[in-house]
Structure 1
Amino acid sequence: MIDENLYFLLPQPLIIEKENQLQEISQMSSHQTMKVGILGFGGLGQAATKVLAPKQEMTWVAAADLKGYAYCETGLNPQTAIATYGQQGSIGYLDPYGTLSNHSIKDLLETAKVDGYFLALPNLPNTFMADVARQFIASGWKGVLVDALKRTSAVEQLLQLQGDLQAAGITYMTGCGATPGLLTAAAAVAAQSYHEVHSVKITFGVGIANWEAYRATIREDIAHLPGFTVDKAKAMSDAEVEAFLDQTKGILTLENMEHADDIMLELAGICSRDRVTVGGVVDTRNPKKPLSTNVQITGRTFEGKISTHTFTLGDETSMAANVCGPAFGYLKAGLSLHRRGIHGLFTAAEIMPHFVR
């Protein structure tokens, strides 16, 4: 509630509006369960179902992969779905809720009642996520979309769709994983200490026991290496990826990546994109992180002091936890905006995520 001591400072219409908003948000968080869909059912999509399983405010009801989709309005079972996908190669085989389809996203949108989708999709080719967004716009669906996009150029494509998303009644949250996402948001908050931000340096460490559990993610990482492109990485067979990883002893060292943290911080007015750098090390054969993931924000305070804030993620948190957790936090924040009639494109550096209970 608004402090009674402040009432005499505020015009009556503003007081009423604020009280209504607070009541709406309170009702939203305590009474309404969000029905969530997941597009893409590889390693990230499967991890997302496990993140959602204990949540009370979100229910996983829908999923789609290349060959089919599944929908149950009261909720799907992660263990059964993951087992079915592992044994038969598509969630479309999930009995009795699955359907095989060559147009799984389109068919799911026509069938399911879903408040918001996490797009746990590989952005290979680089135009893929924008193409998926266009599919949602054309379908007439209204709701919240969240992605964990990596590349600056992919976010730039979505920016071109901003007006179309707004007109379609879609609230789209982009770059809402770990980086871009969690670390970008941390940089945006830490920047408040400074009069001027000189640099934002993001360094990540990822450890996974088996690269095949995150095939699309690893291919996207390979695409950032010298001598590779998105198209070249996408065209690599599993055997070719395996042979390449043998050459590197399973380690991928990434520097000066094309990461959307830069455009997101620029759009938020924190600093120009040329002051943002992203890199890291991925160990595809060991679940232990090769180094601690962190973001360093260096700037000058109003007193003229140069200082650096460092925000470090705990080594025990996995890539899946640091991507899926924030994604659903932003999905909840997006739902709050959507229910208030606020549509269009937003980034993780503009909106604070809401914790999903």
Structure 2
Amino acid sequence: MSTANILSAIRIGVLGFGGLGQAAAKVLAAKQEMVLVAAADQKGYAYAAEGLNTQECIAIYQSQGSVGYLEPVGTLTNQSVHDLIEIAQPVDGYFLALPNLPNDFIPSVAKEFIKSGWRGVLVDAIKRTTAVEQLLAMKEELQAAGITYMTGCGATPGLLTAAAALAAQSYAEIHQVEITFGVGIANWEAYRATVREDIGHIPGYTVETARAMTDAEVEALLDKTNGVLTLINMEHADDVMLEVAGICDRDRVTVGGVVDTRNPKKPLSTNVKVTGRTFEGKISTHTFTLGDETSMAANVCGPAFGYLKAGKQLHQRGIYGIFTAAEIMPQFVR
């Protein structure tokens, strides 16, 4: 990227550098309108005003376990998010590619940003209804801090929630929104936090038990299920997001899916079905189906940065607070 482009680009930080954070860095590497300047993981962070080298960040993380080892721009620290915010280097927006475990983890990170005095755009790909409700309750704090927070902006919640909000316009009344996803990953270890979160949705498991499981215990469970997790009636924030947007009551929204942790091919096509009654009294269903070739990472990171760009435009107009993927249209990042 040229110097002129770097100066005009939106400066992005990625918090969390596991499978999703690394995919986010790869997505940004191909963009002209955004540049990755900061990345943080559990053990350290890296910051470079002219932009971080994605390949170098991923290579050092995979070989040494932290971007903090990246010379000369890395810093090793056990409170990487806190320290990265405190150095007060210019970052316009952060993608919180962090685990959603425990439920209050991402809201607690948002509180750190509020306390720090940083002003800008935050975007997350959070999943659980209770976590989004905690963030929605922080609306006035975020407004007062000059932060524009975009929540639930991944695939589901996110892309599919937004599609449901758009599809709902054909109807006078919404009867049901049914989101079904298929995820295929070649190796669960690339997405440890995501898989643990999914286990937390299985009957007999909770967020706490899933979080406490060792890698060996996760592998033993996956061995029993042949690597496949079937998830029904999940606690997914699409419900509260569509309710807040005034589209339908949350009890009309269901989310479920199948995750294959041993095969990159999707076990089924990801889709959202919106059933309703038109003003003429007809009952009909719209279906929006994602292409099987698009990965979970593509369907999460693309929307997240599209919403971050939309959030940046709101922020420039002095509009702060919290917004969901069902309320704001994402802007395509070139």
TM norm structure 2: 0.97
1:68 to 9, 26, 44: 44
Q: Residue deviations 1:189-227, cap 9 Å, x none?
A: 000000000000000000000000000000000000001
**Which residue of 1 is the match for residue 152 of structure 2?**
175
Root-mean-square deviation (CA, aligned residues, Å) is 1.1
Which of the two has higher C-alpha Rg? 1
**Which residue of 1 is the match for residue 247 of structure 2?**
270
- The separation in 2 between residues aligned to 1:198 and 1:106, in whole angstroms, is 44
- Write the letter of the residue equivalent to 1:151: R
Q: Is 1:116 the equivalent of 2:71? A: no
Q: Is 1:139 the equivalent of 2:116? A: yes
- Write the letter of the residue equivalent to 1:85: Y
Q: Is 1:48 the equivalent of 2:24? A: yes
Q: Is 1:154 the equivalent of 2:131? A: yes
**Which residue of 2 is the match for residue 219 of structure 1?**
196
- Write the letter of the residue equivalent to 1:161: M
**Which residue of 1 is the match for residue 103 of structure 2?**
126
- Cα shift at 1:110: 2.0
- Write the letter of the residue equivalent to 1:267: V
Q: Is 1:343 the equivalent of 2:320? A: yes
Q: Residue deviations 1:134-178, cap 9 Å, x none?
A: 000000000000000000000010011111000000000000000
- Write the letter of the residue equivalent to 2:261: T
- The separation in 1 between residues aligned to 2:58 and 2:298, in whole angstroms, is 17
3-state DSSP of counterpart to 1:124: coil
- Cα shift at 1:271: 0.2
**Which residue of 2 is the match for residue 7 of structure 1?**
none
- Cα shift at 1:103: 1.4
- Write the letter of the residue equivalent to 2:324: T
- The separation in 2 between residues aligned to 1:98 and 1:275, in whole angstroms, is 47
Q: Is 1:284 the equivalent of 2:242? A: no
1:251 to 204, 210, 228: 228
- Cα shift at 1:102: 1.4
**Which residue of 1 is the match for residue 168 of structure 2?**
191
- The separation in 1 between residues aligned to 2:149 and 2:138, in whole angstroms, is 10
1:98 to 74, 80, 92: 74
**Which residue of 2 is the match for residue 240 of structure 1?**
217
- The separation in 2 between residues aligned to 1:32 and 1:177, in whole angstroms, is 25
**Which residue of 1 is the match for residue 181 of structure 2?**
204
- The separation in 2 between residues aligned to 1:214 and 1:75, in whole angstroms, is 25
Identify unmatched segments of 5+ residues in structure 2: none
- Write the letter of the residue equivalent to 2:104: T
Q: Is 1:355 the equivalent of 2:332? A: yes
**Which residue of 1 is the match for residue 8 of structure 2?**
32
- Write the letter of the residue equivalent to 2:276: G
Q: Residue deviations 1:62-101, cap 9 Å, x none?
A: 0111110000000001111111001111110011110001
TM norm structure 1: 0.91
3-state DSSP of counterpart to 1:177: coil
3-state DSSP of counterpart to 2:36: strand
- Write the letter of the residue equivalent to 2:179: I
- Write the letter of the residue equivalent to 1:226: P
3-state DSSP of counterpart to 1:256: coil
After TM superposition, the runs of 4+ consecutive aligned structure 1 residues lying more than 4 A away are none
- The separation in 2 between residues aligned to 1:345 and 1:146, in whole angstroms, is 10
Number of aligned residue pairs: give it. 329
- Write the letter of the residue equivalent to 1:199: Q
1:80 to 53, 56, 61: 56
3-state DSSP of counterpart to 1:226: coil
- The separation in 2 between residues aligned to 1:252 and 1:53, in whole angstroms, is 32
- Write the letter of the residue equivalent to 2:291: G
Q: Residue deviations 1:90-123, cap 9 Å, x none?
A: 1100111100011111111122210000000001
- Write the letter of the residue equivalent to 2:80: S
**Which residue of 2 is the match for residue 13 of structure 1?**
none
- The separation in 2 between residues aligned to 1:194 and 1:126, in whole angstroms, is 34
